[in-house]
């Protein structure tokens, strides 16, 4: 009996000691799931259909661990066949190019169908070198000495054709792909005229001269015509230099540049949005690692609450007469203007030439205007000949208004308008005069996007979230409904989220579906929801062979004890329930989106991969987050943009620790990028005794120096009108640096020094406040990096791993080399 008691005491004591033990940092496991390594393990996970013009047909490529295959699907015939035989294709390519190929290692084929859609054409590059071809203009400039020099060599190109069902490849020619398209050229739909910007003004040339420019842009015989003469910097007709430094801006100032606008369908009118940004103040970043001396980059940047604003004009250029008509807009108030454009058919998206066209074919310009405070939104229509305009639909709300493209149909006599006026996103049917006919969709669910419209049967196809109350409200599905509001039906039901692509005929759609914890699958369905065929199931065999395990979705309550929140938990793949794991929260507050994955994803850099180091990592939505729930949920943080999500982040961590004894609630960390950088630092300062460590990268810690659109939209700005009718804008927001004295835990700040989105000033101000408060913290500048860190993304991952390993796992990486980055890189120097 004593032995049994002693054994019980020993086992009990051992279990207590084990439960208190923190895991060892596992850098090797984290390195195994780098983006570079994952690319070898996971290939295609969705079917991206390339719809054809003839019939309800599409082709797609799908890659597995056995290689890439191409398929042609005929939905009407319910057939799915290989586009070609890989074995035969490898044989033909080998015979033609004299380079060895096999069925598993075909080159990535970028092909186009011919006009009759009976053959595909593509190019391959051989290893054989041939003398480089030069165009006639360059040949004429050669002198006698140059002729005696060894010719420049280049790899031989084969332009090939394969007729569907055929038994051979045909060589069309050995010409390179025509890459003569000019980024500066805005070509009319009928190709009769080309518009471009030069020295801030609008220019044009005819087709004959544009063809000359395609051959030699510096051809002295090119005739170009100047249309406007009043264009100046920051009040120009096209052009633009965002992303250029001051030196390249000067170097390129006389070059032809693009002009963006929208064409009438008959090519006779061009609608251009001209913006006067001269009053906006300048902002700067300095690239210290440029090739020579550090270079300055100057750009216009509007910060919240600033009195200055851009003024927008809508101009109609008449091509035949070269006259200009102005659509009357109120330029005394700041407002954003957007012209509605005709949607591009899915079967046209592979075309080289898809000009931007007006929504209307009948001489009208449909456009929207939204006020600076985003509380007043109007849909307007203007006459394309006179510019005379009127308001069709008005939206008013006490928080910000969101929008979707206007749908014009039934010979332009009816319109579908998306709005959140009853607290949920729905479609409303209007006549062309702006008279409401009826609300089409209705209920406590969120209509996400327009998918298609069958005018004959008056059936609307759309995607929505939350219609099935038994599911995660973020799961998106396809639905159909009659325009009178009857007959709503789910077309791809199931406990998962979907991404869909509908044919131009509205008769079929491809549905890709999964959850974070299921293998992605793809299928083809009819427009009434019937399954036509299963298409693909992702090949995850190599991923699972590494020890990969799916993450775990969870559902908890918000800090109000009422609102349901949804999250995902990521564990180490060698998870031991008897260990005590620190908890990390990965955050991105949006509020235009959330960081919570709903479908399977192998982009593990910030989630699964961090968990492998030795942590439990979670992502979760919070009140004030994703727009795919109610308007109330989305706008919860309005007026409290710094702190609105923190209470939920803290409360959810506590709930999970109560439920799972393997979570160490005394070691909670938080990290994020951009808005997540802002939120993670705020969490450390608002709840300094709860969040013990954070890594905040590219954070907008001081939203008074971030762009006005995001900050004024989601936090709010108050318009005040004086007795003379003049508007001013009052903006007040809490910033992180005012709470610097609260810091108790371990904070790391990271920022790119040429970030022209979230300016480094926000992080520098945070650092300045921490220094003045006599706080220890880490601060890293990423030299020459923009907002996303680019080539230094991998380096930033290991900074984050080091930080949390040191303070939560008790092990500090002291080696000068980041071994995990160097291990798989050949050391050839």
Q: How far apart are CA 534 and CA 492, in angstroms?
A: 13
Contact 412, 366 (CB under 8 A): no
One domain for residues 86 and 114: yes
User: Is 501 part of a structural domain of the chain?
Assistant: no
Going 575 to 581 to 582 to 587, the CA torsion angle's sign is positive
pLDDT band at 18 (very low <50, low <70, confident <90, very high): very low
Check which CATH number belongs to the domain holding 680 and give it. Answer: 3.40.50.1820
Residue 19 pLDDT > 50: no
Q: What is the phi-psi region of residue 754: left when phi exceeds 0, alpha when psi lies from -120 to 50, beta otherwise? A: alpha
Across 786-795, average pLDDT: 94
Residue 147 pLDDT > 60: no
Across 436-447, average pLDDT: 98
Q: Structurally, how many domains does the chain consist of?
A: 2
Select from 421, 458, 423 the least CA-distant residue to 436.
Answer: 421
* Segment among 184-198, 343-357, 549-563, 683-697 with least mean pLDDT: 343-357
Please write the tens of the pLDDT for every residue from 615-633: 999 999 999 998 899 999 9
Question: Which segments of 547-686 does DSSP mark as H helices, in order?
Answer: 608-614, 631-634, 646-659, 675-686
Please write the tens of the pLDDT for every residue from 738-768: 999 999 999 999 999 999 999 999 999 999 9
User: Is 599 part of a structural domain of the chain?
Assistant: yes
Which of 124, 150, 173 is the endpoint of a domain?
173
* Domain encompassing residue 552: 19-41+543-706+736-822
Q: What is the mean pLDDT of the chain?
A: 92
* Segment among 29-38, 422-431, 741-750 with least mean pLDDT: 29-38
Please write the tens of the pLDDT for every residue from 267-309: 999 999 999 999 999 999 999 998 889 999 999 999 999 988 8
Distances in Å between the Cα of 479 and the Cα atoms of 57, 493, 500 are 22, 9, 11
One domain for residues 780 and 815: yes
Q: How far apart are CA 685 and CA 668, in angstroms?
A: 14
Q: How far apart are CA 112 and CA 153, in angstroms?
A: 28
Other CB atoms within 10 A of residue 94 CB: 13
One domain for residues 26 and 67: no
Select from 445, 426, 528, 526 the least CA-distant residue to 485.
Answer: 426
One domain for residues 671 and 809: yes
One domain for residues 31 and 88: no
CA angle 796, 586, 550 (to 5 degrees): 100
Contact 360, 264 (CB under 8 A): no
Name the residue with higher pLDDT: 329 or 651. 651
Q: Please state the pTM of the whole predicted model.
A: 0.93
Other CB atoms within 10 A of residue 152 CB: 10
Q: What is the phi-psi region of residue 677: left when phi exceeds 0, alpha when psi lies from -120 to 50, beta otherwise? A: alpha
Residue 229 pLDDT > 80: yes
Which of 173, 190, 209 is the endpoint of a domain?
173
One domain for residues 743 and 804: yes
Using only C-alpha atoms, the chain has a radius of gyration, in whole angstroms, of 30
One domain for residues 26 and 134: no
User: Is 29 part of a structural domain of the chain?
Assistant: yes
Q: How far apart are CA 33 and CA 43, in angstroms?
A: 14
pLDDT band at 62 (very low <50, low <70, confident <90, very high): very high
CA angle 25, 28, 29 (to 5 degrees): 85
Select from 434, 518, 511, 431 the least CA-distant residue to 478.
Answer: 511
Structure confidence at residue 681 (pLDDT):
98
User: Is 528 part of a structural domain of the chain?
Assistant: no
Which of 142, 173, 204 is the endpoint of a domain?
173
Please write the tens of the pLDDT for every residue from 358-388: 999 999 999 999 999 999 999 999 999 999 9
49 burial class (0-12, 13-18, 19+ CB within 10 angstroms)?
buried
One domain for residues 25 and 129: no
Residue 341 DSSP one-character state? B
311-318 sheet: strands from edge to edge: 262-263, 269-276, 311-318, 324-327
Please write the tens of the pLDDT for every residue from 482-513: 999 999 999 999 999 999 999 999 999 999 99
Q: Which two tokens stand for residue 232?
A: 């100046």
217 CB-near residues (< 8 Å, 6+ apart): 182, 256
Q: Give the alpha-carbon dihedral of 483, 485, 487, 490, to 10 degrees.
A: 90
Please write the tens of the pLDDT for every residue from 533-555: 999 999 999 999 999 999 999 99
One domain for residues 612 and 746: yes
User: Is 500 part of a structural domain of the chain?
Assistant: no
């Amino acid at each position: 009996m004593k032995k049994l008691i002693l054994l019980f005491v020993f086992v009990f004591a051992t279990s207590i000691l084990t439960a208190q033990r923190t895991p060892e940092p596992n850098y090797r496991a984290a390195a195994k799931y780098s983006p570079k390594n994952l690319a070898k393990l996971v290939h295609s996970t969705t079917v991206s259909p390339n719809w054809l013009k003839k019939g309800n047909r599409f082709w797609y490529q799908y890659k597995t661990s056995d290689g890439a295959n191409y398929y042609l699907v005929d939905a009407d015939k319910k057939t799915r066949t290989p586009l070609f035989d890989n074995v035969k294709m490898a044989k033909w390519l080998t015979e033609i190019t004299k380079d060895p190929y096999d069925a598993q290692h075909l080159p990535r084929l970028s092909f186009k169908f011919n006009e009759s859609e009976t053959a595909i054409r593509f190019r391959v590059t051989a290893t054989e070198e041939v003398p480089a071809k030069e165009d006639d203009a360059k040949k004429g400039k050669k002198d006698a000495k140059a002729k005696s020099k060894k010719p420049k060599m280049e790899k031989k190109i084969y332009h090939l054709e394969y007729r569907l069902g055929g038994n051979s490849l045909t060589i069309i020619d050995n010409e390179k792909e025509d890459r003569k398209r000019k980024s500066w050229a805005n070509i009319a739909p009928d190709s009769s005229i080309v518009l471009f910007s030069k020295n801030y003004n609008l220019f044009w040339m005819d087709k004959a001269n544009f063809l000359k420019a395609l051959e030699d842009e510096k051809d002295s015989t090119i005739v170009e015509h100047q249309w406007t003469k009043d264009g100046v910097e920051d009040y120009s007709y096209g052009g633009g230099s965002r992303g250029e430094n001051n030196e390249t801006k000067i170097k390129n100032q006389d070059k032809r540049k693009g002009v963006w606008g929208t064409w009438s369908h008959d090519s006779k009118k061009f609608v251009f949005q001209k913006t006067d940004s001269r009053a906006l103040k300048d902002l700067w970043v300095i690239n210290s690692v440029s090739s020579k001396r550090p270079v300055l980059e100057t750009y216009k940047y509007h910060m919240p609450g600033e009195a200055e604003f851009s003024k927008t004009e809508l101009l109609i250029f008449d091509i035949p007469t070269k006259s200009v008509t102005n659509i009357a807009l109120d330029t005394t108030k700041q407002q954003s203007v957007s012209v509605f454009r005709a949607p591009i058919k899915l079967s046209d998206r592979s075309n080289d030439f898809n000009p931007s066209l007006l929504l209307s074919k009948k001489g009208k310009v449909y456009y929207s205007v939204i006020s600076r405070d985003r509380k007043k939104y109007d849909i307007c229509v203007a006459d394309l000949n006179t510019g005379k305009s009127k308001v069709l639909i008005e939206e008013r709300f006490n928080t910000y208004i969101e929008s979707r493209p206007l749908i014009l149909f039934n010979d332009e006599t009816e319109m579908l308008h998306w709005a959140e006026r009853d607290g949920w996103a729905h479609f409303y049917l209007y006549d062309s005069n702006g008279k409401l006919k009826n609300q089409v969709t209705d209920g406590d669910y969120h209509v996400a996007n327009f998918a298609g419209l069958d005018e004959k049967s008056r059936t609307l196809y759309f995607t929505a979230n939350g219609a099935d109350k038994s599911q995660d409200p973020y799961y998106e599905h396809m639905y159909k409904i009659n325009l009178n509001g009857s007959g709503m039906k789910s077309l791809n039901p199931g406990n998962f989220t979907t991404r869909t692509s509908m044919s131009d005929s509205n008769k079929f759609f491809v549905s890709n579906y999964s959850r974070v914890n299921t293998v992605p699958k793809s299928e083809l369905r009819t427009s009434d929801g019937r399954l036509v065929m299963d298409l693909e199931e992702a090949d995850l065999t190599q991923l699972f062979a590494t020890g990969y395990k799916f993450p775990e979705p969870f559902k908890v309550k918000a800090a109000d004890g009422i609102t349901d929140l949804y999250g995902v938990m990521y564990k180490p793949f060698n998870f031991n329930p008897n260990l005590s794991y620190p908890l990390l929260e990965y955050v991105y507050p949006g509020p235009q989106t959330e960081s919570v994955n709903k479908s399977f994803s192998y982009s593990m850099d910030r989630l699964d991969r961090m968990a492998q180091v030795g942590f439990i990592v979670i992502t979760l939505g919070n009140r004030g987050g994703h727009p795919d729930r109610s308007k109330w949920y989305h706008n919860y943080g309005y007026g409290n943009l710094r702190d609105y999500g923190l209470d939920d982040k803290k409360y959810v961590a506590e709930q999970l620790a109560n439920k799972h004894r393997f979570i160490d609630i005394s070691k909670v960390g938080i990290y994020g990028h951009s808005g997540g950088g802002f939120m993670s630092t705020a969490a450390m300062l608002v709840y300094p005794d709860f969040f013990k460590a954070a890594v905040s990268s590219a954070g907008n810690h001081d939203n008074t120096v971030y762009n006005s659109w995001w900050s004024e939209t989601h936090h709010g700005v108050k318009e005040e009108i004086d007795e003379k009718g003049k508007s001013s804008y009052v903006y007040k927001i809490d910033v992180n640096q005012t709470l610097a004295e609260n810091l108790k835990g371990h904070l790391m700040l990271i920022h790119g020094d040429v970030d022209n989105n979230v300016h480094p000033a926000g992080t520098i101000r945070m650092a300045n406040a921490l220094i003045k408060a006599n706080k220890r913290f880490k601060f890293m500048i990423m030299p020459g990096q923009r907002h996303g860190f680019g080539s230094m993304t991998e380096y930033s991952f290991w900074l984050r791993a080091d930080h949390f390993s040191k303070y939560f796992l008790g092990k500090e990486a002291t080696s000068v080399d980041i071994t995990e980055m160097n291990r798989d890189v050949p050391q050839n120097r």
